[in-house]
Amino acid sequence: MYRYKEVYSDIKRDILRNHYRAGTLMPTQDELAKKYNISRITLRKSLDLLIDEGLIHTQQGSGTYVRPQLDENSPELLPLDLPIGTTYSHRDQKITSKILFFGARLPSEIEQKNLKVKANEPVYEIKRVRLRDNKIYSYEHTIMPTRIAPLDETILKGTIYGYLGGKMKIFMTDARRVVYAESASKESAQALNVDEGASLLVIEQIAYDQKGEAFEYSKSRFDENHSKFVIDIHRNEFW
């Protein structure tokens, strides 16, 4: 594993464990480079990964800060412009999963196209209800190539991204997301405990790892009470 990824993983773990608390100033880059015995260039690559995940942000002339999390009473979703999942975007809350279906099958044509797999390559099909502080938050339908990693129900009840990153060293570095509205089908209505035909927000996603390979095709559905989301915009150049 590359050194910058090891440092990224170590700092990320410290953030998630509140060693570096939300809203606080992190050690300087010189201090971090000295701590990990790496160059400033290597450290910068580690910090860039953390910035991409929305875990930290920099302020020119001030330093690097741990990004505050969304208000736990807010119905906002994960930031749509950052490659992170529900567990990381709501770190101050208890995120759990109820598994509705888990199995393996051959991919459909659209799954073959989005995941770049062949018709005879098996994929996992996962249907989960995600709960935030024991309240229904979303209904996820996820497709993953089985070659990516061995999965079981214990892993699915927690964070799949956490398992992939920690155990398999597979990190989501990019994602293509399409957001649209639809009426709740019988299946999604039952999963979200809403009326059939109710308005839902859908986030359709193709997730890519650090090698640029697609490893997930998913649709996450939210009812109208959880359909507010946020995109942070940062302007680097002025004209």
**DSSP summary character for residue 225:** G
pLDDT at 236: 43
The string over 145-184, giving b where at least 16 C-beta atoms fall within 10 Å of a residue's C-beta and e elsewhere, is: beebbebeeebbeebbbebbbeeeebbbeebebeeeeeeb
Q: Where are the alpha helices (DSSP H) in 109-236?
A: 109-115, 153-156, 160-167, 186-192
Q: How far apart are CA 87 and CA 97, in angstroms?
A: 11
Task: Tell whether the torsion through CA atoms of 153, 157, 158 and 160 is positive or negative.
Answer: positive
The count of other CB atoms within 10 Å of the CB of residue 207 is: 25
Q: Is the Cβ–Cβ distance between 142 and 123 less than 8 Å?
A: no
pLDDT at 92: 58
The count of other CB atoms within 10 Å of the CB of residue 44 is: 14
Alpha carbon distances (Å) from 18 to 12, 67, 91, 110, 126: 10, 12, 10, 41, 31
Domains and CATH numbers, the chain: 3-66 (1.10.10.10), 86-226 (3.40.1410.10)
Tokens matching residue 24: 């606080």
pLDDT at 193: 96
pLDDT at 187: 97
Q: pTM of whole model > 0.85?
A: no
Q: Is the Cβ–Cβ distance between 230 and 76 less than 8 Å?
A: yes
> Along the 239 residues of the chain, how does pLDDT read in single tens digits?
688 988 998 898 888 767 888 888 999 999 999 999 999 999 999 999 898 877 898 888 888 999 876 554 454 555 666 555 665 555 556 888 999 999 999 999 999 999 999 999 999 999 999 998 889 999 999 999 999 999 999 999 988 988 898 888 888 878 899 999 999 999 999 999 999 999 999 999 999 988 889 999 999 999 877 667 766 554 444 44
